[in-house]
Amino acid sequence: MKILVIYQLCSFGGVERVLLNRAKTFRKYHQNVKISVGYLHDYGALASFQAYIHINKLDEYLLAFLIEQETFPDMNQYDFVFNIDTPQVFAQTHHARNIFVECHTSIVQNRQYLRALPKNVRGLLVPSNSFKSILKEEFELLPPISVLPNPVTEEFFDISVATEDRIYSAIPLAYLARLDDELKNFSETARIFELFANDRNIMFAIVGRGAEDANLLHDLEDKMMIGKTFLRSQIDFDAVADFVKIIKSHRGILVSSSRAESFGLSAAEFISAGVPVLLSNIGSHAELVDGDDKFLYPVGEIQLARDKITKLLHQWDEASQAVKSYGEKFSGASFIRAWQGFLKAQANVQ
């Protein structure tokens, strides 16, 4: 089976990790699926993405390339074409009979294209039930919606740690996402972290686009955090699991204050590895932890967030076991069941 995925930009972001995870899962479960992903633009990650594919022997399952302006892929050679939030190409694909739209964007204005989908779009794919509910509330007359959850690969489930893995004397509170305030709400995470600035046993590990911004550095300095913060603007595709392992080996916690998520892949990866999380209580985050209140806090309640983090740190072993059990729903087997359900539904339509 051949699948074409079209996406507007290649970055060190969630879509690329989703595609890598799908390819690894198809390989693990011996699925005859080849994904070709065509990008309209390279935001500096394509070479790293291609290298990761080759080094991890995924060439038979995943191909990444830039779509040339003069030519457009022949969609007739593919069984399915998945357009991920890229309405710019609707004009080039309006004759195809195998088009599905994948909506992953949590930015409300960026998904307004769903109000006027071309008539040839056969269905809509989303990564979570909570996001499906949001779209059904926001838009009328959508095509059939299928949930295709983002799988987490076995390398996260298999993360184990030993005493010699510890390189810091403090416990890290971690953040892994864009450092924006519109949706990721990083400033609130920073305010939560600031409440631990005077705790000698706590450090901060912050990774996300925008980490080089001078205003951020000044803000961390004003909060008396800069001297105890591990700060990176990005980490390559092959380093995410290593970052999770560092946080786990130091008995740390991931914190996310997002106002909106379509799924929450970074949190799912930490959860699958058995790293406790404290997440804003939005639909997608609650779905990740089955609504377990000890891992959720209301947006804006930073004092309550501090108290919950403190409790998680004191009960780290129990919290680790709890989140790891929630992580089972992100397994490859769960993804394959959803994939096969999607294929069966399409076969029945045809």
For residue range 167-178, list pLDDT tens digits in order.
Answer: 888 999 999 998
Residues 205 and 134 in one domain: no
Is 80 exceeded by the pLDDT of residue 283?
Answer: yes
Give me the pLDDT at residue 127, please.
95
Burial annotation 331-344 (CB, 10 A radius, 16+ → b, else e): bbeebbebbeebee
Is 80 exceeded by the pLDDT of residue 328?
Answer: yes
Residues 205 and 264 in one domain: yes
- Provide the 10 A C-beta neighbour count for residue 145: 17
Q: Number of folded domains in the chain?
A: 2
Residues 139 and 242 in one domain: no
Give me the pLDDT at residue 151, please.
95
Residues 96 and 187 in one domain: no
Structure tokens at 349: 């339509």
Give me the pLDDT at residue 347, please.
86
Say how far apart CA 51 and CA 48 lie, in whole Å.
5
Torsion over CA: 31, 329, 152, 64 (sign): positive
Residues 106-159 have pLDDT tens digits of 999 999 999 999 999 999 999 999 999 999 999 998 999 999 999 999 999 999
Give me the pLDDT at residue 244, please.
96
pTM of the model: 0.92
Residues 146 and 282 in one domain: no
Residues 70 and 181 in one domain: no
Residues 182-210 have pLDDT tens digits of 899 999 999 999 999 999 999 999 998 87
Residues 24-77 have pLDDT tens digits of 999 999 999 999 999 999 999 999 999 999 999 999 999 999 998 778 999 999
Give me the pLDDT at residue 9, please.
94
Residues 117 and 223 in one domain: no
Give me the pLDDT at residue 53, please.
96
Residues 243-257 have pLDDT tens digits of 999 999 999 999 999
Give me the pLDDT at residue 350, please.
62
In this prediction, residue 288 has a pLDDT band, given cuts at 50, 70 and 90, of: very high
Say how far apart CA 41 and CA 326 lie, in whole Å.
36
- Residue 217, domain extent: 154-329
Say how far apart CA 295 and CA 280 lie, in whole Å.
9
Residues 178 and 126 in one domain: no
Give me the pLDDT at residue 211, please.
82
Share of the chain above pLDDT 90, in %: 83
Task: Report the range of poorest mean pLDDT among 54-58, 179-183, 272-276.
Answer: 179-183
**Mean pLDDT of all residues belonging to the chain:** 94
Residues 249 and 270 in one domain: yes
Residues 189 and 137 in one domain: no
Structure tokens at 277: 């999380």
Residues 274 and 308 in one domain: yes
Residues 86 and 133 in one domain: yes
CATH number of the domain where residue 92 is located: 3.40.50.2000
Q: Which residues contact 14 (CB under 8 A, 6 or more apart)?
A: 104, 263, 265, 266
